[in-house]
Amino acid sequence: MIELKDLSYVRFGTSSLEDAENFATKCLGLQVGEQSGKALYLRSDDRAHTLCYFEGDPAEQTVGFEVEDEARLNAAAATLDQLGHPVHAGTPNECALRKVKAFIGFQDPTGNHIELVVRPERSGKRYFASRDAGITGFSHVGLSTTDPARDERFWTQVCNARVSDRIGDVALMRVNAIHHTIALAPGPRPGVHHVNHQVESNDDVLRSYYHLSGQRVPIVFGPGRHPTSGARFLYFRGPDGMVFEYSVGVNEIEDEETHRPRQFGFEPSSLCMWGSKRNW
């Protein structure tokens, strides 16, 4: 069993680092942690980075999860290898680019690029947002899936994810008490479906709705509320078509032993109990 401790980062290739920086600082509200010629490291909390844009193909999208230590990383590599997932061990240079001690890369059954990392760097300096969006941290990702049932088995049986709720056959999965860290999203090809940052309050969600509308950022869903996690949300489009989400008030699963996943119908009201319509 591969034990995922937490989500660590997302890495996106981009054709324009300048556009990515403009969006990340003026719209999303992250802090530039470090900027080299070919990469932009963005902070959203006390970690050294949680989002990295690098010069490259926007189809290159990677999600990093933290595991306990190098022994468990090696065990994970062996498990994946045994199951027929080719594993790439990070070189020192690649580790430096990710600000981690060690990592391995592989693809999930859909073909999403996943990295397992050890000792991702934290920053001694506190997070100072580039705009007052109220971001409290990077929290979850939506991962595309070409076969929700198969991918649910991978994340729950090979890894330690647990299903919190399902909408139709699509699982929302947790790796800790937070309702979900991985949300599967049916789609024709692999890739990150959306990137979630938590914000402080309901007010922040609505303030950003008006702020981003004023910046002509396409709002693709919300403001709304998920009946599954209870979170109030706003989804909007960033560079290279990537969708970002702000949310607040996501439930925690209080009793790990007794929680049973609830089944929601595959219909709009399962995605938003307020009545907003998704348009992406």
Partner 1 sequence: MTGTNLSAASARCPLIQLCYVRLAVQTPQPAAAFATDVLGLQHVPNDLEPFLYRSDERYYTLCFATGAERPSIGIEIADAQELDRIAEALKGDGFHAREATKDQCAQRFVRRALIVGDATGNEIDLVLRPALSGRRYFPSRDAGVTGLQGVGLRSRAMKDDLKLWTAILGAKVTDRVGEITYLGIDQMHHRVVLYPSDKAGIVYVSYGVESMDALMQNHYFVEERQIKILHGPGREPASGQMFVRFTGPEDYVFSYGYGLGNIESGHRPRQFTLEASSLCEWGSQCADIIELRPALAS
Cβ proximity to partner 1: between 10 and 248 the closer is 248
Cβ proximity to partner 1: between 175 and 234 the closer is 234
Map the footprint of partner 1 across residues 227-246, applying CB under 8 A: 232
**Contact window for partner 1 (CB under 8 A) among 10-18, 25-33, 103-111, 272-280:** 272-280
Cβ proximity to partner 1: between 193 and 226 the closer is 226
Is residue 92 at the binding interface for partner 1, with CB under 8 A as the rule?
no
Q: Are 62 and 115 in contact (CB under 8 A)?
A: yes
- Near partner 1 by CB under 8 A: residue from 48, 97, 206, 220: 206
Contacts 24+ apart (CB under 8 A), 204-213: 204/133, 204/134, 204/246, 204/248, 205/232, 205/233, 205/234, 205/246, 205/247, 205/248, 207/133, 207/134, 208/133, 208/134, 208/234, 208/246, 209/234, 211/131, 211/133, 212/27, 212/236
Contact characters 60-89, partner 1, x per CB under 8 A: ------------------------------
**Contact window for partner 1 (CB under 8 A) among 111-119, 166-174, 192-200, 270-278:** 270-278
**Contact window for partner 1 (CB under 8 A) among 89-97, 113-121, 255-263, 269-277:** 269-277
Cβ proximity to partner 1: between 72 and 211 the closer is 211
Q: Quote the CA–CA distance of 69 and 224 in Å, as a whole number.
A: 39
Is residue 131 at the binding interface for partner 1, with CB under 8 A as the rule?
no
Q: Are 237 and 279 in contact (CB under 8 A)?
A: no
Map the footprint of partner 1 across residues 210-229, applying CB under 8 A: 210-211, 214, 223-225
Is residue 132 at the binding interface for partner 1, with CB under 8 A as the rule?
no
The distance of closest approach from Cβ of residue 223 to partner 1 in the complex, given in angstroms and rounded to an integer, is: 7
Total residues interacting with partner 1, rule: CB under 8 A: 16
The tokens 């950022």 sit on which residue? 217
Amino acid at 45: D
- Near partner 1 by CB under 8 A: residue from 203, 215, 263, 278: 203
DSSP state string for 33-88: EEE-SSEEEEESSSBS-SEEEEES-TT-EEEEEE-S-HHHHHHHHHHHHHTT---E
Q: At 279, give phi and psi (nearest 5°).
A: -130, 60
Which chain residues interact with partner 1 by CB under 8 A?
Answer: 202-203, 206-207, 209-211, 214, 223-225, 232, 273-276
